[in-house]
Amino acid sequence: MRILGIDPGLRNLGWGVIEAQGSRLSHVANGILHSEGADLARRLLSLHEQLTDILHRYAPETAAVEHTFVNKDGAGTLKLGQARAIALLVPAQFGIAVGEYAPNAVKKTVVGVGHAQKGQVDHMVRMQLPGADIAGPDAADALAVAICHAYQGAASTRLEQAVRRASA
């Protein structure tokens, strides 16, 4: 299964694509999209166009997006939420199911600790995807989201399939 992980951000949106075959994971690609434009609408459009290109190029079968981290700056949180909406919208336009994960759940899955530091996440992503040339911290976070989805989402998918078989 090809999985797209997204770490939403208005200035820098991290993305990472992995292949999951059972518990075996392999790196496909990763990067950071930078929004362009003077106003919010142009920046969101820029992210939409760039993320659409990533989906065309790598054809993921599923996607996962990290939940918005709420901070004291309400305006900043709102803008981040709008970038997150683009991260949810683009895969939906491709008919792809999107999983959503809290930052602590991603860190716990990848590092084993829910309050891990960025450096720890980067290290564990590199351990699980040997040889991956990671574009930066936002891309490492996106790959971590994809890894989380590979483990968490796979279990959910197997459960759904078992329920469908039992109902038939």
| Residues designated as active site | 7, 66, 138
Residue 48 amino acid letter: H
Q: In the numeric block, which tokens belong to residue 127?
A: 């351990």
**Whole-angstrom Cα distance, residue 106 to residue 141?**
9
Any binding-site annotation on 138?
yes
Please report how many Cα atoms fall inside a 13 Å half-sphere around the Cα of residue 144, on the Cβ side: 34
Any binding-site annotation on 39?
no
Any binding-site annotation on 122?
no
Which residue positions form the known binding site for Mg(2+)?
7, 66, 138
Which residue positions form the known binding site?
7, 66, 138
